[in-house]
Copies of this chain bind each other. A is one copy, B any other.
Amino acid sequence: MSDSGAGTALDRAATMAEVGERGLLRHLRSRIPLGPGVLVGVGDDAAAVETGLLTLVTTDVLIEGVHFRREWGPANLIGRKALTVNLSDIAAMAGVPRYAVVSLSLPADTTVEFLDAVYDGLLERSAEAGVAIVGGNVACTPGPLTIDVTLLGHGDKLLRRDGAKAGDLVVVTGTLGGAAAGLNFLQGGTRLGAEGVLSDAGTWTGGAPDSLLSCLRAQLDPTPPLAFGRALSEHDIVHAAMDLSDGLSGDLLTLCHASDVSAWVDGSALPVDPCAAQLEKEGGTDGFSVALHGGEDYQLLLAVPPGAFDQLKDVAVVWDLPVTAVGEFTEGPPALSMKFGDRMKRLRPKSHEHFKDPGSRRSDPSAET
């Protein structure tokens, strides 16, 4: 946004403690445009928005120190990601995102400048996705900065998690492992600068900075295939879908539970992100683990009848989006197996759980109710 930080005149170095909630609210309100379909936007008891007969609603939170660290990269990317993780959920239901409310819990020393940069990202991502920010909340917290976004979308033909059938192919879009590989380097001190260049190499000693930047970007500014789920639902191609936020192994088991089926994954078929693979190779490993267990790729996990896979590829080609069959759903109680050549082994998800592993290097967003 060229008008970065524009709004009511406030000292950009001022803190929330100095500006006060009301001053901050006036400032934020002045930055938020009234979008299409918004009858009452920010500034009343509630927003009033035009909706259809079926409305999708999802919520996801980013907590500083849990889901992001502000030193990792530009602050606007925090705002972008706070919306993107919700966009991914609406897209995975084949919905069209429409309206967002943003609830901010802010430490008293948060500056106007930092918050403006976060809002730059929120507004920029909203505009890209056709979403209007219609309201929200600001509260002071003794805890970490927290951005809780609730997103409303329009739905008609839904893609649910509970429709996978034995015999369906396990299909993923895009490539996997990029976001997790990027996170590994951020945890090691690598930093993304304001202009999309490396500001600190951290533990990074190799070549291929393009691969590194690609993975940092995948972690800090993910790009889910937002329109693809909707196209699939229109063509009635898939039986079930969900977004890959917690990692393939964890999310596939979740889908199995929702659909009451089992599944196996072919270890040789994973579409490992080539940049992640290159980074891992320089570290002496391969990208297999980050692709299988790493979260936050925000790609789609699909259950596709084998006869519909070619049609799926035809739809995906419009977006230049890779789609890969990585396994199969089978009869049986929810469980995962991994196939290596002729051998089949039990596969245990390694998805991150915050509570059980507070020291984890993973930063994947929190679980959805």
Residues on A facing B (Cβ under 8 Å): 15-22, 24-25, 28-29, 32, 39-40, 42-61, 63, 65-67, 88-90, 92-93, 95, 99, 101-103, 105-106, 108, 134-144, 146, 148, 150-153, 155, 158, 160-162, 241-243, 258, 353-356, 358, 365-369
Can you name 6 extra interface pairs (CB under 8 A) apart from A32-B369, A45-B88?
Answer: A45-B58, A45-B241, A48-B158, A51-B53, A139-B366, A141-B144
User: For the complex, would chain A's binding face be called helix, strand, loop or mixed by DSSP majority?
Assistant: mixed
Could you show 23 A-B contacts with beta carbons less than 8 Å apart?
Answer: A16-B355, A20-B353, A20-B355, A22-B353, A25-B368, A39-B158, A40-B158, A44-B93, A45-B88, A45-B90, A46-B95, A49-B55, A59-B103, A59-B136, A61-B105, A61-B137, A61-B139, A137-B367, A138-B369, A140-B366, A141-B146, A142-B143, A146-B146
Q: How far is the CB of A35 from chain B (nearest CB, A)?
A: 13
Alpha-carbon gap, A10 to B314, bound state (A) = 47
Q: Specify which chain B residues have a CB less than 8 angstroms from the CB of A63 in the assembled complex.
A: 105, 139, 141, 143
10 smallest A-B Cβ distances: which pairs?
A143-B143, A139-B366, A140-B354, A46-B58, A136-B369, A150-B150, A45-B92, A21-B367, A51-B55, A45-B89
CB contact under 8 A between A242 and B44, given known A20-B353, A355-B108: yes
Q: Specify which chain B residues have a CB less than 8 angstroms from the CB of A258 in the assembled complex.
A: 43-44
Alpha-carbon gap, A202 to B65, bound state (A) = 38
Contact check, A47 vs B57: say whether CB atoms are below 8 A apart: yes
Q: Specify which chain B residues have a CB less than 8 angstroms from the CB of A44 in the assembled complex.
A: 93, 160-162, 242, 258
Contact check, A369 vs B137: say whether CB atoms are below 8 A apart: yes
Nearest-neighbor residue (CB-CB) of A47 within chain B: B57
CB contact under 8 A between A21 and B354, given known A141-B143, A153-B46: yes
Q: Specify which chain B residues have a CB less than 8 angstroms from the CB of A49 in the assembled complex.
A: 54-57
Q: How far is the CB of A42 from chain B (nearest CB, A)?
A: 5
Nearest-neighbor residue (CB-CB) of A145 within chain B: B143
Contact check, A48 vs B40: say whether CB atoms are below 8 A apart: no
Contact check, B57 vs A134: say whether CB atoms are below 8 A apart: yes
Q: Specify which chain B residues have a CB less than 8 angstroms from the CB of A29 in the assembled complex.
A: 369
Q: Which of B19, B54, B134, B144 contacts A143 (CB 8 A)?
A: B144
Contact check, B354 vs A139: say whether CB atoms are below 8 A apart: yes
Q: Specify which chain B residues have a CB less than 8 angstroms from the CB of A45 in the assembled complex.
A: 58, 88-90, 92-93, 161, 241-243, 368
Count chain B CB atoms within 10 A of each CB in A59, A66, A258 and give the residue with the most.
A59
Contact check, B40 vs A160: say whether CB atoms are below 8 A apart: yes
Contact check, B51 vs A54: say whether CB atoms are below 8 A apart: yes
Q: How far is the CB of A101 from chain B (nearest CB, A)?
A: 5
Q: Specify which chain B residues have a CB less than 8 angstroms from the CB of A241 in the assembled complex.
A: 45
